[in-house]
Amino acid sequence: MTFQASAYVLYKGRGSEPLDTRIPQDSSNKTSFLIEATTPSHAGLYQCAYYSTEDILSELSDPLLLVVTGVGDAPSLSAQPSPVVASGKTLSLSCSSNLTSGRFHLLKEGGADPSGHMEAEPRTYDGRWRAIFPLGPVSPSHGGTYRCYGSSSSYPNVWSQPSAPLHIDVTGAPDTTPSSMDPGSSAVEKAGSLSYYTVENLIRMGVAGLVLVVLGVLLFQARNDTRRTHDAARM
């Protein structure tokens, strides 16, 4: 049996009245709810449901969070100790602004979800608010361009202008040379090498000894054959 929806209903906020209702125009069983000019009032959780041909309302969909950005001044974003970091090291991204309360949000370009949310903490020496996002041990996947946003505690889904982009470059691979490893590892490797060469020498000596034994047996048989030949000649 082919499913057919007679109408779709859009809700904003949990337990709210329907925000909009749309009738599908064809048999594709989908429709769109258009927001022509987004404002901070549009931020929040949205859910939808549908009416079947028997006018039975379905269960609500999973909630979708709509975040509205561009409200308020942009924070600043910096990297400590440097935006260029070796793989395996630790890195912290600091987002700060003149916000008096709320949270900071860190996003990486190309990422499906925010990289993190942190409560703003005051800095007494300059009157600014800051949040530190630790990253690490970093890997090549941490490389890319990051931005951060700020929001107030009253409107957590209304974010500020984005910070200037900050590019993180992850270089090289973790240092695994013997000098950076455990001091005993070098001795273990040397002992293993010595054991390898000792076994190899023993094998060589064994092969040489076996060759000497075979040569001795052949020489002994040759002498016996010579004696027998001489004895036969005398007789």
Q: What was the pLDDT predicted at 187?
A: 45
60 with 83, same domain: the answer is no
- The span from the CA of 224 to the CA of 202, in Å, is 33
More confident residue, 209 or 30: 30
Q: What was the pLDDT predicted at 62?
A: 93
Instruction: Answer with the one of 151, 171, 191 that is the final residue of a domain.
Output: 171
More confident residue, 177 or 89: 89
154 with 100, same domain: the answer is yes
Give percent of the chain with pLDDT exceeding 90: 45
Neighbours of 130 (CB within 10 A): 19
Domain span at residue 84 reads 76-171
Closest among 131, 141, 128 to 168, alpha carbons compared = 141
Tally the C-alpha atoms within 13 A of residue 110's C-alpha that lie toward its C-beta.
8
Instruction: Answer with the one of 14, 40, 66 that is the final residue of a domain.
Output: 66
User: Looking at residues 130-143, what average pLDDT do you find?
Assistant: 91
More confident residue, 108 or 235: 108
Estimate the share of the chain in helix, then strand, then coil, as percent rounded to the nearest 5: 25, 35, 40
Cβ contact 136:91 at 8 Å: yes
| CB-count exposure of residue 89 (10 Å: 0-12, 13-18, 19+) | middle
Residue 123 sits in a domain of what CATH number?
Answer: 2.60.40.10
Closest among 98, 110, 103 to 132, alpha carbons compared = 103
Quick: pLDDT tens for 137-146.
999 989 999 9
Q: What was the pLDDT predicted at 127?
A: 79
58 with 14, same domain: the answer is yes
Residue 34 lies in a domain: yes
91 with 142, same domain: the answer is yes
Name the residue with tokens 């609500």. 60
Q: Phi and psi for 86 in degrees, rounded to 5?
A: -80, 145
More confident residue, 80 or 4: 80
When mean pLDDT is compared across 6-10, 41-45, 114-118, 119-123, the lowest value belongs to 114-118
- The span from the CA of 52 to the CA of 176, in Å, is 63
Quick: pLDDT tens for 152-185.
989 999 999 999 999 999 998 655 444 444 444 4
Please report which helix (H) or strand (E) contains residue 198, including its range.
helix 183-234
Tally the C-alpha atoms within 13 A of residue 119's C-alpha that lie toward its C-beta.
3
Mean pLDDT of the chain: 80
Instruction: Answer with the one of 148, 171, 194 that is the final residue of a domain.
Output: 171
Residue 235 lies in a domain: no
**Single pTM value for the model:** 0.65
89 with 125, same domain: the answer is yes
Q: What was the pLDDT predicted at 55?
A: 82
Residue 140 lies in a domain: yes
Residue 211 lies in a domain: no
Q: What was the pLDDT predicted at 193?
A: 43
End-to-end CA distance of the chain: 114
Number of domains within the chain: 2
12 with 57, same domain: the answer is yes
Give percent of the chain with pLDDT exceeding 70: 72
Quick: pLDDT tens for 22-66.
888 776 678 889 998 999 999 999 999 999 877 889 999 999 999
86 with 148, same domain: the answer is yes
